[in-house]
Structure 1
Amino acid sequence: MKTLLSRSSASLLCPLLFACTRALAGDADAGDYEALPPGSDIGLLYYDHSHSNTYRDAKGHEVPGSARLDTDIGILRYAHYTQVFGMTINPQILIPFGKIHDAKVGGAAIDGNEGMGDIQLAATLWLLNDPAKRRYFGISPFIILPTGSYDKNDPLNLGENRWKGMLQAGYVQGLSDKFTLDILGDVTWYGDNDRANGQNQTLQQENTYTAYTWLRYHLNDTSHIALGYQKAWGGKQELDGIDNGTRTRWDRVRVSYAKMFTPTFQGMFTLSKDLDAEGGFERSYGIYMRFLKLF
């Protein structure tokens, strides 16, 4: 941690907030890989509040001094379901926005920020779509464009000033009339940020890998509860070739409730907590809401 603490807290936090927007935008909810009929359109609004009061170094040790981070991130998302060569696909766009506040590492307070995040273009292609047997398998490439709010002189930004790519895959299997299992995974690639701070240092990052699982219990035809587990690893960062101690590594548990309030409107509420983390903030708790409208 000597290398990490020798830099300003601001330069540490700049890359850390990239994980906050990614955790929501690249995440997958229970049921996301169940395909809707071609011709369907959906609009979604996400809200995620995350509170952290522990910062851990690259080996998982708590950094001395008070730490805190609060984020409020939203996403607008639209997807259209159609067919290509007989397979269902849903081109989509995601527009993140939000606020970062109450940031502190090693007792040093950092000014917050707000604005727009980086726009994401994505599509899920279903290679297996078998509603009768409740089996689905899809792959989802994402392209993340450097369009968000970014100022190299600000310690915290919603935009990342770099290109990113992500490939996600998800499999859904009905286990019984009441239980469904979702298994998902993804990998994220990062371009360089050649204006990572006021000194125009270059930020580079290794791939991040994430695995998810959800076990759903269907209360009835319109609602379910789900237990989830998420593990992320990789994501080592360097500034001008020097390890800055930041990683994207955590183990997270989640519990979710979703209900169709009308045939075309669904609400979802999820609570989450990190079991551990390395090279970043450990989430004390997260509150997540999603509203879906079918057109």
Structure 2
Amino acid sequence: MNFYRITVFTLSLLPSIASAIDLQPNDIVAPLPGKNHAMISYVNTESGTFYKNGSAVSTRPFGSPDVGTQSAIARVSTSYAIQDLPTISYIQIPYGTIKPEGSLASYAASTGIGDLTFATAIWPYADREKRKYFGVAAYLTAPTGSYNSQQAFNTGENRYKSDIQMGYQQPIIENLDGMIAVDTMWFGGNGQCAAACFSASNTSLNQKPLTTTQLGPIYKINQNYTLGASYFYVAGGATTIGNTYQNNVVNTQRYLLSALAYYPFGRISLQYGRDMEIKNGFAETRRLIVRYTTEF
């Protein structure tokens, strides 16, 4: 298989990897019914060294790669009950920019609307007194974002994605809780993959399911401030272009630190993280997220 066909395609994976279902501290806590919230998020990431089967690649065009992304994400949610089970649904849409620089500067940047996501979560078990929660969520992402098959970078993916996630949270000691969540994402096919698949004309792109496990502690300092730390292990997601298997399984470990502040006017959260180990793709050297959530 042509090496550059593999590596150029990997550029198009950046948006989908970045959209893994990351949870904030206490996202597994069941919401009270009858609440409406709006959330605005700013996400900034920086990715550098490219890896192929665990080894850093320095051949052209990967002498000094630098890929930056910036996006603003708007989300509106509503909580309710289904047969007395806490439930929440939301819709969200991103708008952002993917900008290749360094040795990748010859590739065109992409700016535009991302893909629309719908989600619903339900809690079969929620004990507020004992602070024990088990929830299940389903996500569907539709190909509504900006996409140009002649570009390797796109803010939209031109394919459907679905995800099922399960999460559990309970106290460890006093104000310290522990959480664990597992989700698997399935990908629809993209029949218009050209530049990202190193093809002069449109060809088919298919991807295997991608599974993410996340776990970590959540510490409630007081009624206003909460801290959290999460470890992520992401596996799977190998791709096929046309009839050719790419042998590019995602095998990534990363971390995310969180700080949440609750005020009368809403909640502000700050998150920072990066990759710790990666097998295939660009290593993310910085992930910075700022969110504001308010009730209406």
CA contact (8 A) 2:31 2:88 kept: no
The secondary structure found in structure 2 opposite 1:39 is coil
Task: Identify if the C-alpha distance between structure 1 residues 131 and 195 changes in structure 2 by more than 3 Å, giving closer, same or farther.
Answer: same
User: Would you say the 8 A contact 1:237–1:244 is kept in 2?
Assistant: yes
SS at match of 1:278: coil
* Counterpart pick for 1:49 among 44, 51, 55: 44
Match of 1:221 among 220, 223, 237: 223
- For 1:176-191, list aligned pairs within 5 A: 176-191=173-188
* 1:123 equivalent in structure 2: 120
Structure 1: how far apart are the matches of 2:257 and 2:188?
33
1:291 aligned partner? 292
Number of matched residues?
287
Say which of 54, 64, 76 aligns to 1:60: 54
CA contact (8 A) 1:35 1:129 kept: yes
Q: How does 1:1-295 map to 2 (within 5 A)?
A: 3-5=2-4, 7=5, 10-20=8-18, 22-23=19-20, 26-57=21-52, 59-64=53-58, 65-103=63-101, 109-197=106-194, 198-262=200-264, 264-295=265-296
Contact 1:14-1:196 at 8 Å conserved across structures: no
Q: 1:104 to 1:204 in 2, by over 3 A?
A: farther
Q: Secondary structure at the match of 1:109?
A: coil
Deviations 1:15-72 (A, max 9, x none): 343222x13xx22111111122110111111111111111111x11111122211111
User: Aligned-residue CA RMSD in angstroms?
Assistant: 1.8
Deviations 1:250-285 (A, max 9, x none): 1001211111022x5011111101111122111111
Tell me by how many angstroms 1:82 deviates. 0.5
Q: 1:104 to 1:128 in 2, by over 3 A?
A: farther
Q: Is the 8 A contact 1:203 1:239 kept in 2?
A: yes
Residues 8/283 of structure 1: CA separation in 2 closer, same or farther (3 Å cut): closer
CA distance in 2, matches of 1:48, 1:246: 26
SS in 1 for 2:240: strand
What residue number does 2:197 align with? none
In 1: Cα distance, 2:225 partner to 2:293 partner: 14
User: 1:176-221: CA deviations, max 9, x gaps?
Assistant: 3220111111000011100011511100100000000121111111
Query: 1:9: Cα distance to partner?
Result: 5.8
Counterpart-to-counterpart distance in 2, 1:84 and 1:29 = 24
Report if the CA contact (8 A) 1:4-1:244 is conserved: no
Stretches of structure 2 that go unaligned for 5 or more consecutive residues are 195-199
Give secondary structure in 2 for the equivalent of 1:13.
helix
Structure 1 residue 102: deviation in Å? 2.7
Secondary structure of the corresponding residue to residue 258 of structure 2: strand
Tell which deviates more after alignment, 73-82 or 8-17.
8-17
* DSSP-derived class of the 1:32 partner: coil
In structure 1, distance between residues paired with 2:159 and 2:284? 25
AA in 1 matched with 2:27? D
Cα shift at 1:245:
4.9
Shift in alpha-carbon separation, 1:267–1:54, aligned structure 2, 3 A? same
Identity %: 25
CA distance in 2, matches of 1:199, 1:14: 16
AA in 1 matched with 2:54: G
Letter in 2 for 1:92: Y
TM-score (norm 2): 0.92
